[in-house]
A = this chain, B = another copy of it.
Amino acid sequence: MGLPRILTIDFLRRAYRSGTLSPLDVIEAVIGRIAACSDPAVWISRFDDETLRAMARVLGETPSPDMPLWGIPFAVKDNIDVAGLATTAACPAFAYRPTADAAVVARLRAAGALPVGKTNLDQFATGLNGTRSPYGAPRSVFSADHVSGGSSSGSAVAVAAGLVPFSLGTDTAGSGRVPAAFNNLVGVKPTKGMLPTSGVVPACRSLDCVSIFGATAAEADLVRRIAAGPDADDAYSREGTDVALPETGLRVGVPVGVEREFFGDTANADLFEVAIRRTERLGCTIVDIDFAPFREAANLLYAGPWVAERMAAVERFHADHADDMDPHVRAIVEGALGLTAVDAFRGQYALEAFRRKTRATWAAVDVLLLPTTPLFPTVEAMRADPIGLNAKLGRYTNFVNLLDCAGIAVPAGFRADGLPFGVTLIGPAFSDTALALWGDRLHRAAAGGMGLDRDADLATMAVPPGPEVERLPIAVVGAHLSGMPLNVQLTGAGGVLLKKCRTAGDYRLYALPGTVPPKPGLIRAPGFAGPGLEVEVWALPVAAFARFVAEIPPPLGIGRITLEDGDSVPGFLCEAHALQGAQEITPHGGWRAYCASA
C-alpha cells in the first residue's frame, strides 16, 4: 500500500484498522524516507534501523488499535530525554545519556507511539532560527537557502518532509511556532504547565513548554491531550479547567495597522491581510487592538532578567565549558552576569504591569490573530545578523509564555516565491482545546495543504473536538423547536441540537388555549397507540439547563419522556388539569405540523 507524501496519524490509524499496513511496514517506510531525505541536519541521533524494526515488531505482536497512537512514529527534539539515546541540547560537550524517558515521551509511548530519534535544535533551545547548532542548520522544506526556523528546527522538518506524522518540540519564546510557519505545519504551544517538563533540559524553567508539530490541528491537539496532565516531578505542572471560546462569532484581535510590522517583507504583510479577511469570512469579528503592551512585555525575555533563567539552567556547565558553547547562545546566557536579585524582581513587577495593561484587550477579544513571524530569512542573512534578525523573528511570539497564553500556529498560504506563511491564534491559558478547533478552521480555509504537500486535501481528515462543556439533554415539543419563537432561549444559552425524532407512541398532544406564544401540552397515555410526536432533543450547559427549568411557567414542566427508540430524556410535559377543553392535535404528529395546518 502506498503512503501519502505527508504521513498523518489519521491515515495510519485507518490503515492499521483496515489491516492494510502494519507498524513494521510503516517503520520500513520511515527508515527509507529518512535515508532519502536531502537535509542532513534534521537528526542529531536516532535508533538504528534494527532497533526501530524490533520496536515495531513488538508492537505488531500486541495489536491494540484502541491505543490512540498505536504504531505512530514520532520525532523528539534533542533537549527532551528518550531512554536509549543521548540528550545533547545541540551541545556535544553537554551530552548525557538519560536512563528514563521524559514524562511526555513516556506518556506517548504508553499510548502506543514509537520514538524514532532526536532532532536538531538551536543550542539549549536558545534561538528562533535553526542555525545555532554544531549539527548543522536544517532548511525549510521549501527552500535550501532559507532557515527552517528554530529552536525546534529538526522536529518541524521531520514532519514537513513526511518522515514522521508528528514531533515534539519545546517553546519558550516561539520555538514551537516559528518552525511551523516556515514549514507549512501546525504548531501547538500548550498552556504553560499543562504538559510536564520533567526530563526536558530547561531554557527558562518558569516559561518552558513542550510543543507539538503536526500536519493538522486535530492531530497536534490529539497528541497534546495525550501528553497533558499533572506530574509530581514537575513543580510547574498545573491543572486547569478547559476555557471555552465562542463556537461562532469569535472576536479576533489583530494589531492595529501601524503595529503590523513586517520589516519590509511585503509578501508576508500581504498574506497577513489575506488571513484577516479569511478569518472574517469564517464569521469572526475582527477587532483592532493596541499591540504595544504585548510587544513591550516580550522585551523582558532577552533584554530583561529572564536570561538569568537560561544561566540557571546551565550555570555549572557554563563555568567549565563556556568555550564549548555556540558563541551567540553563550553571549545571550552571559547576559545574566551582573543581574541582581533586585533586577529579577523588578522584571517581575514590569511583567505584572504589562499583564495588567493587556487585560483591557482580553475584555474586548476572545483570541489574538498574529503573523507567526514577520519575515523569512535566508541562512546567509541569519548568519550576517544573528542576534538582530532573531529578535525580529520573535516579534509576535516572545510575549506568549510570559503573559501565560496558549497558542496554535497554522499554515496561512504561500507567497509568490513559493515560501509558506503562517499565522498564530493566541488565547487565554487553558483555551487550548477551543483554540485547536479555530486553528483547524483557519488551516482548512487557507487550503495550502500540509508540510511539503501543498495540494494535500484536508477535507477528509478528522476535525478536532470542541471544548468539553458539560451539557444535559432536554426534549422540546412546542414553541422551543427550531424556528419557533422560543427557540432562541436554547440557542442563546449555548444549547446544541442533538437530534430530531419522535416520542414513543403512547403520548398525546394538545393545543393549550390562551398561551402566548401559542404552546402545546404533551402527556403520556399508557396503552394509547398513536403516531408519536415530533420532538427535538437539545443539550444545554448545566447552569443554563437549571435556569431554563426554573423559569418554565405552569402548567408546563419537565418530566421524563420516552422516545421512539426507547431512550428516555428530560423533556416538556403538561399538567393534566390544563388539558380540559384543549383541542387534541395528536393526529398532526407534532406542533410544527399542526401550526402549518392551522
Residues of A within 8 A of B (CB): 205-206, 232, 234-237, 305, 308-309, 311-312, 315, 336, 339-349, 352-353, 355-356, 472-473, 523-526, 542-543, 545-547, 549-550, 552-560, 562, 568, 570, 573, 575-577
User: Which of B232, B234, B553 interacts with A560 by CB under 8 Å?
Assistant: B553
26 sample A-B contacts, Cβ–Cβ < 8 Å, listed by A number? A205-B345, A206-B349, A232-B356, A235-B355, A236-B352, A305-B341, A305-B345, A308-B342, A315-B342, A339-B341, A339-B342, A341-B341, A341-B347, A473-B550, A524-B555, A524-B577, A526-B577, A542-B547, A552-B560, A554-B559, A554-B568, A556-B559, A557-B557, A558-B558, A558-B559, A576-B576
Assess the B547–A549 pair: CB atoms within 8 A: no
Known pairs A472-B546, A542-B546; A577 contacts B340 (CB<8 A): no
Which residues of B are found within 8 Å of A524, using beta-carbon distances? 554-555, 575, 577
Shortest Cβ distance from residue A523 to the other chain B in the assembled complex, whole angstroms: 7
Assess the A346–B312 pair: CB atoms within 8 A: yes
Closest residue of chain B to A551 (Cβ to Cβ) is B570
Which residues of B are found within 8 Å of A555, using beta-carbon distances? 524, 559
Compute how far the CA of A205 lies from the CA of B348 in the bound complex, rounded to whole angstroms. 10
Assess the A356–B237 pair: CB atoms within 8 A: yes
User: Which of B345, B553, B557, B562 interacts with A344 by CB under 8 Å?
Assistant: B345
Which residues of B are found within 8 Å of A341, using beta-carbon distances? 305, 308, 311, 336, 339-341, 343-344, 347
Compute how far the CA of A205 lies from the CA of B573 in the bound complex, rounded to whole angstroms. 59
Which residues of B are found within 8 Å of A526, using beta-carbon distances? 577
Known pairs A315-B342, A542-B546; A205 contacts B349 (CB<8 A): yes
Given A545-B549, A554-B568, A576-B576, 16 further pairs, Cβ under 8 A: A205-B345, A305-B345, A308-B344, A308-B345, A311-B341, A312-B346, A312-B349, A341-B343, A344-B345, A472-B546, A523-B577, A542-B547, A545-B546, A549-B570, A554-B559, A558-B558
Which residues of B are found within 8 Å of A308, using beta-carbon distances? 340-342, 344-345
* List of 9 A-B pairs having minimum Cβ-Cβ separation, nearest first: A557-B559, A576-B576, A344-B344, A308-B341, A339-B341, A235-B352, A546-B546, A341-B344, A235-B353
Shortest Cβ distance from residue A330 to the other chain B in the assembled complex, whole angstroms: 16
Closest residue of chain B to A304 (Cβ to Cβ) is B341
User: Which of B206, B237, B473, B575 interacts with A573 by CB under 8 Å?
Assistant: B575
Assess the A549–B560 pair: CB atoms within 8 A: no
Which residues of B are found within 8 Å of A315, using beta-carbon distances? 342
Closest residue of chain B to A561 (Cβ to Cβ) is B554
Shortest Cβ distance from residue A307 to the other chain B in the assembled complex, whole angstroms: 8
Shortest Cβ distance from residue A321 to the other chain B in the assembled complex, whole angstroms: 17
Shortest Cβ distance from residue A77 to the other chain B in the assembled complex, whole angstroms: 22
Assess the B577–A525 pair: CB atoms within 8 A: yes
Assess the A305–B344 pair: CB atoms within 8 A: yes
Compute how far the CA of A236 lies from the CA of B342 in the bound complex, rounded to whole angstroms. 17
Which residues of B are found within 8 Å of A550, using beta-carbon distances? 472-473, 545, 570
Which residues of B are found within 8 Å of A553, using beta-carbon distances? 560
Shortest Cβ distance from residue A299 to the other chain B in the assembled complex, whole angstroms: 16
Compute how far the CA of A348 lies from the CA of B554 in the bound complex, rounded to whole angstroms. 59
Shortest Cβ distance from residue A344 to the other chain B in the assembled complex, whole angstroms: 3
Which residues of B are found within 8 Å of A576, using beta-carbon distances? 523, 575-576
Closest residue of chain B to A556 (Cβ to Cβ) is B559
Which residues of B are found within 8 Å of A232, using beta-carbon distances? 356
Compute how far the CA of A312 lies from the CA of B345 in the bound complex, rounded to whole angstroms. 8
Known pairs A308-B341, A349-B205; A573 contacts B549 (CB<8 A): no
Compute how far the CA of A553 lies from the CA of B352 in the bound complex, rounded to whole angstroms. 52
Shortest Cβ distance from residue A275 to the other chain B in the assembled complex, whole angstroms: 33
Known pairs A524-B577, A559-B557, A560-B557; A206 contacts B345 (CB<8 A): yes
Known pairs A346-B312, A356-B235, A523-B575; A549 contacts B542 (CB<8 A): no
Closest residue of chain B to A580 (Cβ to Cβ) is B526
Which residues of B are found within 8 Å of A559, using beta-carbon distances? 552, 554-558, 575
Which residues of B are found within 8 Å of A568, using beta-carbon distances? 554
Which residues of B are found within 8 Å of A573, using beta-carbon distances? 557, 575
Shortest Cβ distance from residue A294 to the other chain B in the assembled complex, whole angstroms: 15
Shortest Cβ distance from residue A285 to the other chain B in the assembled complex, whole angstroms: 25
Compute how far the CA of A538 lies from the CA of B577 in the bound complex, rounded to whole angstroms. 26
Closest residue of chain B to A544 (Cβ to Cβ) is B546
| Interface-central residue, A205, A309, A554, A557, by most chain B CB under 10 Å | A557
Shortest Cβ distance from residue A453 to the other chain B in the assembled complex, whole angstroms: 42
